[in-house]
A = this chain, B = another copy of it.
Amino acid sequence: MNKLLDQKSIETIRFLSADIVQKANSGHPGTPMGAASLAYILWTRFLKHNPSNPNWSNRDRFILSPGHASALLYSLLYLTGYDLSLEELKQFRQWESKTPGHPEYGLTPGVEVTTGPLGQGFSNGVGMAIAERWLASHYNQEDHEIIDHYTYAIVSDGDLQEGVASEAASLAGKLELGKLIYLYDSNKIQIEGSTELAFTEDVAKRFEAYRWQVLGPINGDDLDEVEAAILSAQKVTDRPSLIICKTHIGHGAPTKQDTASAHGEPLGESELNTAKQARNWPLDPFYIPEDVLAHMRQAVQRGKMLEQDWDRKWHKWKETNLVVASRFQNAMQGKLPDNWDQGLDSLFSADDEPIATRAASGKVINELAKNVHNLIGGSADLSPSTKTIIDGAGDFGPADYSGHNFHFGVREHAMGSIVNGLALHGGVIPYSATFMVFSDYMRPPIRLAALMGLRVIFIFTHDSIGLGEDGPTHQPVEHLLALRSIPNLTVFRPADATETAEAWRYAIENQHGPTSIVLSRQNLPVLDRSKLADASLAQKGGYILWESIDKPEVILISTGSEVHIALQAGRQLASKGIANRVVSMPSWEAFDKQSDSYKELVLPIHIRSRVAIEAAIPLGWEHYIGLDGAVVGLNHFGASAPAETLYQKFGIDVDHTVEKVLSVIENTRG
């Protein structure tokens, strides 16, 4: 090892990161400078990656959980030869650059995950490490370890304070994820000042309690200590490792090192120059010594060889395992097997007994699992209620990493972040499940799944006051709108079992964003498709389910369990001579994506008498009913009572719908 070159490389990372921030006059120089040595050792001596192919399946995953330190990651990506130019580094935080304020998955080659909201990266890594174990147990054979990689992260004081990280850490310990190795950048500074202000817990002890191997505290600037610690981490295979590394935020900044002012704003030219002078460093911004670049760019050649070695193994394996190998390849590319949705169409019939859509979903999952071999997921301790167990597919855990069913514990937030990590890793199609009201506990990962465009399926059952006696703490009333508000999230609230199958079909095919399937606790009749529109139309988000013979003068629009009320009301109105149309609208997002002509067909602009029926707050429905329509819903929290009582007391029933339709017709006529 050339210690001088090591130090020079680390200085390069530090000053390059600080220059990046200074040039943008915006950003966070402190953590890149403080964590540079950790990152350097990890990236040059351990990380198995191929800068020329950031998508190599068996690469080690690296997460920068404190995403505000993005300049560090961009420096590393540039120096190790990813497709990221120095020019891009100079465009840090500018419009359409590849170097946004926080790392963005899908935008910058080599960025494994979008980070910034603290605690998320930490928890995504647990998902990645789970995916690694799951795929390994399905595809590895003796001497053919197709999947066999580490998941590394740098995590910060802030990450460890977030509850989601606690949840994920506890689960990672339980799952014995030995190939998960986190470097804790312990710089003792947070935005308000010293961590002593709010964070005095014994982190080492806490992680030991989670059954992690805890190493350190080590001096994060002692390269040998860092290297030795990572080696020790690798040696323990049945526990995740946390390496506590003492570092200095703003390392080398003369007045700002070890202070909060190094955190979130550029050092300033004078401070930065003084720092450079103290290290005999040229003052030119973006100065990169040639020997450092040559040294770090060895990652390119090394990466190619690593992938080539793997490729050789892979091809040899493929020869004798053609079917499985092609399944693996398809899975990693996110492709579905042929006939993946076989059986879905014939799963339900109008002759069936009424069935809750959560139960229908359970049947769909089990049908899908026959062909979609990499469908995995579970619930935050509610699987008997969410109906999300794949029968006979085993529980994922140290005793059997091939199990499809996950027990996340009462940890909705980590569940969300972990399924994101599973999707980010690739090779699996993950779902999570809990009661809909608890979607609030996991909004940050839902948002990030939408932002990253991940195929994740968020199942939410007990979707309205229809859950009854558990009362307002458990009855979602605002959550449909709250979910519909998230860009790139598709919300599907099926009306019956047949639409539930369609919701799943949509979700599995929706490769570029998450889908939330929203399901009833209560039983619902299976719609008789011989007398109603075909269920496949649900793919369009909204469709004419039924209409009276005459040209409609009013449109009833509804979702989920209330579609049955709409249908009854529509038929009753027709019998009174009020020509009407009933639109089932399981997904606003899917409907809004249809052509203008289709939307006009379903909701002609001149028909202004429109009534929406949904057991939720009315807000948002004006998108479809405008100023002249009305909503049968509830503009307040629910209550504890049997579901039928609630529907009746809150006036979400056929009588009130008919009444409201008549008054809307009256008003729009007037």
Contact: B485 with A481, CB < 8 Å? yes
User: Complex Cα distance A473/B409, Å?
Assistant: 27
User: Complex Cα distance A191/B97, Å?
Assistant: 48
Contact: B206 with A473, CB < 8 Å? no
Q: Does chain B have a CB within 8 A of A512?
A: no
Residues of B within 8 A of A482 (CB): 443, 481-482, 485-486
Q: Which listed segment binds B: A11-19, A352-360, A433-441?
A: A433-441
Residues of B within 8 A of A204 (CB): 209
Known: A471-B102, A622-B622. A384 touches B191 (CB 8 A): yes
Residues of B within 8 A of A48 (CB): none
CB distance from A398 to the nearest CB of B (A): 10
Q: Does chain B have a CB within 8 A of A427?
A: no
Known: A166-B163, A174-B199, A485-B482. A27 touches B626 (CB 8 A): no
Known: A440-B444, A485-B617. A407 touches B197 (CB 8 A): yes
CB distance from A275 to the nearest CB of B (A): 23
Known: A102-B470, A384-B191, A485-B485. A198 touches B210 (CB 8 A): no
Near B by CB (< 8 A), chain A positions 449-492 give 450-451, 468-474, 477-479, 481-482, 484-488
CB distance from A492 to the nearest CB of B (A): 17
Q: Does chain B have a CB within 8 A of A161?
A: yes
Residues of B within 8 A of A173 (CB): 200-201
Q: Does chain B have a CB within 8 A of A279?
A: no
- Which of B413, B437, B484 lies in contact with A619, CB distance below 8 A? B484
CB distance from A108 to the nearest CB of B (A): 11
Q: Does chain B have a CB within 8 A of A620?
A: yes
Known: A190-B381, A482-B482. A471 touches B619 (CB 8 A): no
Known: A444-B441, A485-B482, A617-B485. A161 touches B102 (CB 8 A): no
Q: Which listed segment binds B: A73-81, A109-117, A143-151, A537-545?
A: A109-117
CB distance from A652 to the nearest CB of B (A): 14
Q: Does chain B have a CB within 8 A of A553?
A: no
* Size bracket of the A interface: 35 or more
In the complex, which residue of chain B has the Cβ closest to the Cβ of A260?
A: B384
In the complex, which residue of chain B has the Cβ closest to the Cβ of A413?
A: B163
Q: Does chain B have a CB within 8 A of A605?
A: yes
Most chain B beta carbons < 10 A, residue from A26, A102, A170, A408: A170
In the complex, which residue of chain B has the Cβ closest to the Cβ of A93?
A: B469
CB distance from A588 to the nearest CB of B (A): 8
Q: Which listed segment binds B: A335-343, A523-531, A638-646, A655-663?
A: A638-646
Contact: A101 with B470, CB < 8 Å? yes
In the complex, which residue of chain B has the Cβ closest to the Cβ of A95?
A: B641
Q: Does chain B have a CB within 8 A of A395?
A: yes
Q: Does chain B have a CB within 8 A of A8?
A: no
Q: Does chain B have a CB within 8 A of A53?
A: no
Copies in the complex: 2
Contact: B484 with A409, CB < 8 Å? no
Q: Does chain B have a CB within 8 A of A635?
A: yes
- Which of B158, B192, B211, B443 lies in contact with A440, CB distance below 8 A? B443
In the complex, which residue of chain B has the Cβ closest to the Cβ of A440?
A: B443
Contact: B485 with A410, CB < 8 Å? no
Q: Does chain B have a CB within 8 A of A628?
A: yes
Contact: B469 with A451, CB < 8 Å? no
Q: Does chain B have a CB within 8 A of A67?
A: yes
Known: A163-B164, A174-B198, A628-B626. A639 touches B474 (CB 8 A): no
Near B by CB (< 8 A), chain A positions 357-400 give 379, 381-385, 395
User: Complex Cα distance A200/B444, Å?
Assistant: 26
Residues of B within 8 A of A473 (CB): 67, 101-102, 104, 114-117, 448, 451
* Chain A residues proximal to chain B, CB less than 8 Å: 24, 26-27, 67-68, 93-97, 100-102, 104, 114-119, 157-159, 161-167, 170-171, 173-174, 190-192, 197-206, 208-211, 260, 264, 379, 381-385, 395, 407-411, 413-414, 437-438, 440-441, 443-444, 447-448, 450-451, 468-474, 477-479, 481-482, 484-488, 605, 608, 617, 619-620, 622-623, 626-628, 635-637, 639-642, 645-646, 649
Q: A162-B410, A204-B209, A441-B444 are in contact. List 12 more A-B contacts (CB 8 A).
A: A95-B649, A104-B473, A157-B410, A190-B410, A192-B382, A443-B443, A451-B473, A477-B487, A479-B485, A484-B619, A488-B637, A620-B623
Please give me the 10 A-B residue pairs with the lowest Cβ-Cβ distance, nearest first: A163-B163, A100-B640, A198-B409, A116-B473, A626-B627, A166-B166, A205-B209, A622-B622, A206-B209, A95-B641
- CB pairs A–B below 8 angstroms (17 shown): A27-B469, A68-B470, A93-B641, A102-B470, A104-B471, A116-B474, A161-B167, A161-B411, A163-B164, A166-B167, A191-B384, A202-B208, A206-B206, A206-B210, A440-B447, A451-B472, A626-B626
